[in-house]
Amino acid sequence: MKMSKRSRGRQVLLTGLLFFLAVPKSFAVEGKLEELISRELAKTCELEVVWQNELPMGKAEALERLFIIGNRVYALSSSNYMVSLDRETGKAAFSVQVARAGLPAIGLELYNDELFSVIGNKIVEINPESGAERSVKRLKIGVICPAVRNSTYFYVAGADKRVHALRAEDKVQVFEAAAQNASGITSVLADERFVIFTTDAGNVISIQPDRAELLWQFDARGGIVAPIVKDGDSLFVASGDTNIYKLDIVTGRFDWKYQAQAALTRGPQVTGEIVYQSVDNKGLTAIDKKSGKALWHLAEGVDLLAQGGKRTYVITNSGELAVMDNQKAKQVCSINLAGVSRYATNVADSKIYIADKSGRVACLKPIQ
């Protein structure tokens, strides 16, 4: 029986949870790619198309999420099929079935030369260059947010309302920590100096990285459900009390707060000089990172796409790419992104990454 190209591509070797298939070329067929966005349309807002690609989606499959990590864009489908694309060229480096369809994949993180995710109730480590599985460790707890790590430990927030510290080399638990009020943990970050976690009661708690010893605690008046963001020695926290807080990450000292128009369910996005905060059904606000004062507000804004120089690129609730002038505090241009329903926020540079559910992906950048 003759097999389709996609069926042949999915014949892979089972290795525990992951299946590996190296695909060192673009999936786009030369001259046959249906463009996600035309070059002429991009130019109307002084943007140029860097590359476009089309991922191998099955008939009943859809592109679910894009992740920007290091020098790669990772595209995850509804059946947990992941494709790694070079951020600069759009060429596919590998594709891999990270889990069987239906299993939840919680986060995707890179530490040194290791890509990792929590899939179901397992920590899975992957080679970011090839997609090959390096290790799989089954956990005895349910996981409720992405795991993080430093050089010594993985830190996993469990459904048991505790942060579990697992030795990186063998995933053996060394210690665990919890809030004194036994509230649920919603977000975790870590480096070599500390581990910080938040709770649904509004606690921001910093502990020693190798033991459950409190360093400091900050208490917001509303629950925290969105990821916290580390930027240098600053910590940005979006709370259910409608405030965005800037804290000193070493001491927990309060620097400033900005009150938004509603309870915050999304984490802030932080670039060199600006903090962007999305508020459900209220828009996107740009806040000066140093002073905590609003620079502009776009009522139709949904999320940050990228920032380039004095301009910010925003996806709107009407399916447009809006261009904001940060100095003039106004919208200067917009492009209709008909069909675009997926995107990745990029805080590293000015490149814009957009996609549709059928697997067309494009990269744009400001014309120099």
Q: Is the pLDDT of residue 25 over 60?
A: no
pLDDT for the residue 305: 98
pLDDT for the residue 56: 87
CA dihedral 38, 40, 42, 43 (to 10 degrees): 160
Q: Which residue has the higher pLDDT, 128 or 15?
A: 128
Average pLDDT over residues 155-168: 97
Q: Which of 20-29, 40-49, 63-72, 74-83 has the lowest mean pLDDT?
A: 20-29
Average pLDDT over residues 233-245: 98
Token representation of residue 339: 């069909």
Q: What gap in Å lies between CA 195 and CA 5, rounded to an integer? A: 47
Q: Distance from first CA to last CA of the chain, Å, rounded?
A: 53
Cα→Cα distances 71→67, 287, 365, Å: 11, 28, 16
User: What would you report as the CA-atom Rg of the chain, rounded to the nearest whole angstrom?
Assistant: 21
Average pLDDT over residues 149-156: 98
CA angle (363 as vertex; 340, 63 as ends), nearest 5: 45
**pLDDT class for 33, splitting at 50, 70, 90?**
low
pLDDT for the residue 24: 33
Q: Which residue has the higher pLDDT, 24 or 307?
A: 307
Q: What gap in Å lies between CA 278 and CA 352, rounded to an integer? A: 18
Q: Is the pLDDT of residue 17 over 50?
A: no
pLDDT for the residue 323: 98
Q: Is the pLDDT of residue 13 over 90?
A: no
pLDDT for the residue 102: 87
Q: Which of 27-36, 171-180, 220-229 has the lowest mean pLDDT?
A: 27-36
Q: Is 43 helix (H, G, I), strand (E, B) or coil?
A: helix
Please choose, from the candidates 61, 114, 3, 47, the residue with its C-alpha nearest in 3D space to the C-alpha of residue 356: 61
pLDDT for the residue 18: 34
Q: What gap in Å lies between CA 250 and CA 127, rounded to an integer? A: 32
φ/ψ of 43, rounded to 5, equals -65, -25
Q: Write out the H or E segment, with its range, that includes residue 6.
A: helix 5-9
Q: Is the pLDDT of residue 283 over 70?
A: yes
Q: Which residue has the higher pLDDT, 31 or 333?
A: 333
pLDDT for the residue 32: 53
| C-alpha count within 13 angstroms, C-beta hemisphere, residue 82 | 30
User: For the whole prediction, is pTM greater than 0.85?
Assistant: yes
- Summarised one tens digit per residue, pLDDT across range 69-111 is 999 999 999 999 999 999 999 999 999 998 888 888 999 999 9
Average pLDDT over residues 42-71: 94
Cβ contact 285:300 at 8 Å: no
**pLDDT class for 208, splitting at 50, 70, 90?**
very high
pLDDT for the residue 228: 97
Q: Is the pLDDT of residue 193 over 50?
A: yes
Q: Is the pLDDT of residue 31 over 50?
A: no
Query: How many C-beta atoms surround the C-beta of residue 297 within 10 A?
Result: 18
pLDDT for the residue 99: 85
Cβ contact 81:97 at 8 Å: yes
The residue type of 209 is P
CA angle (311 as vertex; 306, 315 as ends), nearest 5: 45
